[in-house]
Structure 1
Amino acid sequence: MKSTILRNSIFSFLVVIFSLTAGLSQTGAKTEKAVIKTSIACSHCQQCGSCGKMLNKNLKSTAGVKKFTLDEKAETFTIVYDPAVTDIKKLRTAVSKLGFDADGVKADPAAYDQLDECCKK
């Protein structure tokens, strides 16, 4: 009788532990990182009052984008995103619509014209 109670207790404990572990592993959203080559002429785009504001507003509001950084020296955008929501092709298009080249995707001419002169090459 005691061994049955002990066995049931151990079994119940293992079921609870397994359930918690399975639940926790599913709550972590999967993200990927994309590094997109661009062309930037200035050294302060992300801090700029107009371009930086535009980048933060528009790129961060792109579906699936979690965060991004701009490395002016390396001329790259590093974007952390949810692959269930977006993909690298959509991210390149989003960057190009902001007026910047994105790997092989040319900058949207109208958006490029809206950039500050210091950001144009």
Structure 2
Amino acid sequence: MCSYSIEENLRELRGVKKVQVDLKNKSGKVIFNASIVDLSTIENRITSIGYNVNNKLADIKAYEKLELCCKKPKEN
């Protein structure tokens, strides 16, 4: 569900050609046309749906709406 959400949201961006998210390794690969969409726009889309990416933090309201399985485990 989590990877699907990220992949589907990014595929909606004009200029994004391919998206692959690997939750196990906490990584992803995005192939995009840089003359149409830039990395910052892609990162902003990811944070806007509740996920951290690179050095950008998730939108807290979007994060709170995520399914429990998509949230980071709480630290003790």
Q: For residue 30 of structure 2, give the secondary structure of its aligned residue in structure 1.
A: strand
Structure 1 position 86 matched with structure 2 position 37? yes
Secondary structure of 1:86's counterpart equals: coil
TM-score normalized with structure 2 length:
0.82
Unaligned 5+ residue runs, structure 2? none
Partner SS state of residue 80, structure 1: strand
Pick aligned residue for 2:22 from 64, 71, 93: 71
Please name the residue that 1:117 is paired with.
Answer: 68
Match of 1:105 in 2: 56
Deviation at 1:78, TM superposition (A): 0.8
| CA distance in 2 between partners of 1:92 and 1:45 (Å) | 16
- 2:10 is aligned to 59
What one-letter code is carried by the residue in structure 2 that aligns with 1:100? Y
Unpaired stretches in structure 1, ≥5 consecutive residues: 1-43, 47-51
- Structure ranking higher on relative contact order (CA contacts 8 Å, 6+ apart): 1
**8 Å CA contact 2:2, 2:70 repeated in 1:** yes
Letter in structure 2 aligned against 1:83: A
CA distance in structure 2 between the partners assigned to 1:64 and 1:86 by the alignment: 5
Partner SS, residue 58 of structure 2: coil
Which entry has the higher C-alpha Rg, 1 or 2?
Answer: 1
Superposed CA deviations along residues 50-107 of structure 1, whole A, max 9, x for unmatched, are: xx2x334321101211110111121012111011111111111111111110101100
Aligned residues: 72
